[in-house]
C-alpha cells in the first residue's frame, strides 16, 4: 500500500493511474482545478473500491497554495510515499508565437507551477529520507520543433529540472521519475488525427505505475519513443533546421 498525491488528477492519464493505484490498495489524495470533474473522478474511484480517496480543488497557478496542499495531503493520508504531477496544457503554438502572454501562461502551467509544487515536495521527502516523485514530461521536450516549441521548451526545461532534482535527492534515497509519453489519446489531443503512434491513457498509466515501482529515472512510454527520439536527437542542427517538423 502506497500513499499517493496526484496533481492534475482529472487528466486522462492520471485518472487511469489512480484506477491502477486503487487496484493495488493505495490511498489517494487527488488535486485538480475543476470541482465537478474532481468529484466525478473521486466518486468513480470510490465505487471501484478505493479505500481512501481524498480530494482538494487546486489551481496550479496559485503557487501560494501549494505548501498547504502538500500538508493537507500528508495529514489526510497519514504520510506520503509518492507524488505524481500530471497537470499540463497543450497550448496553441501559433497564438503563443504572436502573443507572449499566451506563451507565458504555458510556461507557468507546464513548468513553473511544477517547480513550485516540487520545491515543497522535495524538501519534505528529503527530510523523511524516502519517497518517489513522478512527473509527466514529454518527448516534445527532447528537441525543439517549429510545430510546438513553446510546449516543447516548457517540457524540456521540466526534464532538465527533474534531472537536477534527481541528482540532488539521490543521497536522501528519494527517487525522481521523468515520464516521457509520446502521443496519448486524451482530451488534450482530441483535435489531432489519430494514428498508430497514439497510445491509450491506460497503457501509459500502467507504464508510469511500473516505473515508480522499479524506481526508474527516465522512461519513454511506449518504449519505442526512446528509439524515435534518439534518432531525432542525432540529426545535426544544420539539417534539422531545414525539416518541416
Partner 1 sequence: MSRTRAPESWGRYPKTTQSAIDLFWISDSPPFSSIRGSMLPYGKGRSYGDVCLNDGGTLLLTERLAHFISFDLGTGLIRCEAGVTLAEILRLAVPHGWFLPVTPGTKFVTVAGAVANDVHGKNHHSMGTFGEHVRVFELLRSDQQRLICSKSQNPKMFRATIGGMGLTGLMLWVEFQLKRIANPFIALEEIQYRNLDEFFTLAEESEGSFEHTVAWVDCLARGSGLGRGVFMRGNDATAQQGAAAPPAKQKRQIVFPVDAPDFLLSRPTVSAFNSLYYHKQLHRRTSRLAHYDPFFYPLDSVLDWNRLYGKRGFLQYQFVAPHAHSHAVTAEVLERIARSGAASFLSVMKTFGERPAAGLMSFPRKGVTLALDLPNLGEKVLRLLDQLDEIVLQNGGVVYPAKDARMSARHFQSFYPQWKEFARFIDPRFSSSFWRRVTAS
- Residues with a catalytic annotation lie at 151
- Grid cell in block for residue 142: 527532447
Residue (of 62, 56, 58) closest to 76 by Cα position = 56
Q: Which stretch binds partner 1 (CB under 8 A): 110-118, 143-151, 152-160, 192-200?
A: 192-200
The answer to whether 45 and 22 are in contact (CB under 8 A) is yes
The helix (run of H) or strand (run of E) holding residue 103 is: helix 100-107
The residues in 1-40 that bind partner 1, with binding defined as CB under 8 A, are 12, 34, 36-37, 40
Number of residues that bind partner 1 (CB under 8 A): 19
Binder of partner 1 out of 78, 98, 101, 191 (CB under 8 A): 191
The residues in 90-149 that bind partner 1, with binding defined as CB under 8 A, are none
Q: Where are the beta strands (DSSP E) in 137-216?
A: 174-181
Binder of partner 1 out of 101, 171, 190, 231 (CB under 8 A): 190
Binder of partner 1 out of 25, 43, 160, 168 (CB under 8 A): 43
Q: Which stretch binds partner 1 (CB under 8 A): 43-51, 98-106, 149-157, 211-219?
A: 43-51
State which residue, 15 or 26, has the beta carbon closest to partner 1.
Answer: 15
Cα 16 from Cα 131, distance rounded (Å): 21
Phi–psi pair at 36, nearest 5 degrees: -65, -45
Cα 41 from Cα 83, distance rounded (Å): 18
In whole angstroms, how close is the CB of 48 to partner 1 at the nearest point?
Answer: 6
- Grid cell in block for residue 221: 512510454
By the rule CB under 8 A, 231 interacts with partner 1: no
Binder of partner 1 out of 71, 129, 194, 233 (CB under 8 A): 194
List all residues 6 or more positions away from 204 whose beta carbon is below 8 Å from its beta carbon. Answer: 13, 16, 181, 184, 221, 222
By the rule CB under 8 A, 198 interacts with partner 1: yes
By the rule CB under 8 A, 48 interacts with partner 1: yes
Amino acid at each position: 500500500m502506497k500513499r499517493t498525491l496526484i496533481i492534475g488528477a482529472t487528466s486522462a492519464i492520471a485518472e487511469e493511474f489512480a484506477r491502477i493505484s486503487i487496484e493495488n490498495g493505495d490511498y489517494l489524495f487527488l488535486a485538480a482545478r475543476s470541482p465537478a470533474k474532481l468529484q466525478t473522478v473521486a466518486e468513480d474511484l470510490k465505487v471501484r473500491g478505493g479505500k481512501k480517496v481524498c480530494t482538494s480543488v487546486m489551481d496550479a497557478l496559485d503557487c501560494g497554495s501549494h505548501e498547504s496542499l502538500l500538508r493537507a495531503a500528508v495529514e489526510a493520508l497519514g504520510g506520503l510515499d509518492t507524488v505524481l504531477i500530471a497537470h499540463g496544457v497543450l497550448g496553441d503554438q501559433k497564438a503563443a508565437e504572436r502573443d507572449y502572454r499566451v506563451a507565458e501562461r504555458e510556461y507557468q502551467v507546464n513548468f513553473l507551477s511544477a517547480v513550485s509544487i516540487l520545491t515543497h515536495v522535495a524538501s519534505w521527502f528529503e527530510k523523511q529520507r524516502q519517497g518517489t516523485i513522478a512527473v509527466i514530461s514529454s518527448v516534445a521536450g527532447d528537441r525543439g520543433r517549429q510545430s510546438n516549441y513553446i510546449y516543447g521548451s516548457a517540457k524540456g526545461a521540466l526534464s532538465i529540472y527533474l534531472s537536477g532534482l534527481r541528482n540532488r535527492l539521490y543521497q536522501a534515497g528519494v527517487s525522481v521519475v521523468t515520464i516521457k509519453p509520446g502521443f496519448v489519446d486524451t482530451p488534450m489531443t482530441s483535435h489531432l488525427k489519430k494514428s498508430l503512434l497514439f497510445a491509450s491513457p491506460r497503457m501509459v498509466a500502467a507504464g508510469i505505475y511500473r516505473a515508480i515501482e522499479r524506481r526508474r529515472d527516465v522512461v519513454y512510454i511506449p518504449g519505442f519513443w526512446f528509439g524515435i527520439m534518439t534518432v531525432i536527437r542525432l540529426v545535426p542542427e544544420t539539417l534539422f533546421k531545414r525539416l518541416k517538423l
